[in-house]
Amino acid sequence: MPSQDEILKAKILVVDDSPDNVDLMLEILRDAGYTNVTATMRPAQVCPLHREHCYDLILLDLQMPELNGFQVMKGLKEIEHGGYLPVLALTAQPSFKIAALEAGARDFISKPFDLMEVHKRIHNMLEVRLLYKELAQYSKQQQELALHDPLTGLPNRRLLEDRIEHTLQQSARSRGKSAILYLDLDGFKAINDSYGHGYGDEILKMVAARLVGASRKEDTVARIGGDEFVIVLGNLAGKGDAREPAAKLIEVISEPYFINDLTLRLSTSIGIAIYPDDASTVDSLLGAADTALYEAKRAGKNRFCCSPHEVMASQVNMQKSSIPSIA
C-alpha cells in the first residue's frame, strides 16, 4: 500500500473554468498537505499536460466552455489506452454524476464543496491510483524477468524466438536476408572449475556487454543458457554480411578479462545460419546455426563456420583474415 508521504506527493491537476473554484480547491489541497498541485482553466490543455506529467489525479469540472469534462475524458482515454483513468469529476448537477462514472471518471465531488467529502474522496482515490501504479510496475517487472536472463539482462530464449520471427517476417517482406549467429565460449568451463562460479558469472556479464557493444542497435543479442549466446542480424544484402560481424565478435571476445587481480582469457566459436538460404523457420534456423557451431568446435574452436555449401567462399575469406573460419 502507498504511504501517506507518497499520497501527499502525488501529482494533482485541478481543471475548472472558474478562478474562484480553482483558488478554493488549491487552498483545500495545500492546507491538507499536498505538495505537487497545479491547475488550468483551459480544458484543451488537459490532455497535453497529462501526456507530459502523467498525473495521479485530475480534478475535472464537467461544465466548461470550449470543451466540457466529458470531451476531456474521451481524450484522456486515448492516452491511458484502457488503463486506469485518474479522473475525479466536479459537478453541481446530480444528473451528471452517473454520466461521469459511465464516461470513465472514478468518482465525483459535488458542488458546492463539502470539506470532509473532498478530503476523503481525494485521499481514497489517490490511494487506489498509486496502488494501481505499483501493481502495474510489478507486473511489468515480472514480465521483464520472464523474458530476460537475470544474470546479464539480455533477452532469453523465449524473447529471442519472438525477435527471430519478427526479423524473418521483415526479411520476407523486403526479400532480404537474415542471419543467426550461435556462439559458445571456448574455455569457459575451465574458468568456472579453476576460479569458481562467481568469476564465471562476471565473465558472462562482461561477454554480454561486449557482444552488445559490438553489435548494431537493431540487432538482438540473447543468452539462451550457460555460455551460449545468439545474435540475430537483419537487413542483410547477402551471406557475406554475416561473416564480418562474426569475425568482429571473435576478436572482442578474445580480449583479456580483468577481474580483481586476475587476467583471464577465452575465445568463442560461432555457427552461422542464413535465412532463407539455410532454413526458413525459427527452429530450423537455430538448428542449422547449432550444427555449424558444432563444426566450428570440431575444427579447432576460436572460429566461425557457415553452412556446408559455403566451403570455398569461407576458405577464401579465411585467408584474408587473422580469424580462423571454416565452412
Inter-helix orientation angle 115-147/157-174, to 10°? 80
Same domain, 130 and 43: yes
Same domain, 125 and 226: no
Same domain, 216 and 239: yes
Q: Measuring CA to CA, which residue among 284, 275, 282 is closest to residue 175?
A: 275
| Residue 196 DSSP code | -
Q: In what order do the strands lie in the sheet with 177-186?
A: 220-225, 228-236, 177-186, 267-275, 304-305, 325-326
pLDDT of residue 24: 93
**Cell numbers of 281, please?**
523457420
Same domain, 122 and 184: no
**Cell numbers of 26, please?**
488549491
Q: Which of residues 146, 177, 197 is at a domain's end?
A: 146
In Å, how far from its chain's centre is CA 210? 20
Question: What is the number of alpha carbons within 13 Å of residue 323 lying toward its C-beta?
Answer: 24
Q: What CATH number corresponds to the domain at position 132?
A: 3.40.50.2300
Q: Which of residues 85, 117, 146 is at a domain's end?
A: 146
Same domain, 211 and 116: no
Residue 152 lies in a domain: no
Task: Give φ, ψ of 64 to 5 degrees.
Answer: -140, 150
Same domain, 319 and 180: yes
Separation of first and last alpha carbons in the chain:
60
In DSSP terms, 110 is beta-bridged to: 91
| pLDDT tens-digit series, residues 85-133 | 899 999 888 888 889 888 889 998 988 888 998 999 999 999 988 988 8
Same domain, 172 and 309: yes
| Residue 3 DSSP code | -
Residue 110 lies in a domain: yes
Grid coordinates 550457460 are at which residue? 226
pLDDT of residue 313: 29
Q: Which of residues 102, 123, 146 is at a domain's end?
A: 146
Same domain, 74 and 120: yes
pLDDT of residue 312: 27
Q: What CATH number corresponds to the domain at position 174?
A: 3.30.70.270
pLDDT of residue 319: 39
Residue 151 lies in a domain: no
Same domain, 109 and 185: no
Range of the domain at 203: 157-326
User: Does this model's pTM top 0.85?
Assistant: no
Q: How many domains does the chain have?
A: 2
Decide if 39 contacts 14 (C-beta within 8 A): yes
Same domain, 139 and 162: no
Mean pLDDT per 10-residue interval, the chain, length 327 residues: 92 95 94 96 94 94 90 90 82 87 89 89 92 82 85 95 96 94 96 94 97 96 96 91 94 95 95 94 96 93 77 34 49
Same domain, 240 and 259: yes
**Cell numbers of 74, please?**
474521451
Task: Give φ, ψ of 112 to 5 degrees.
Answer: -65, 155
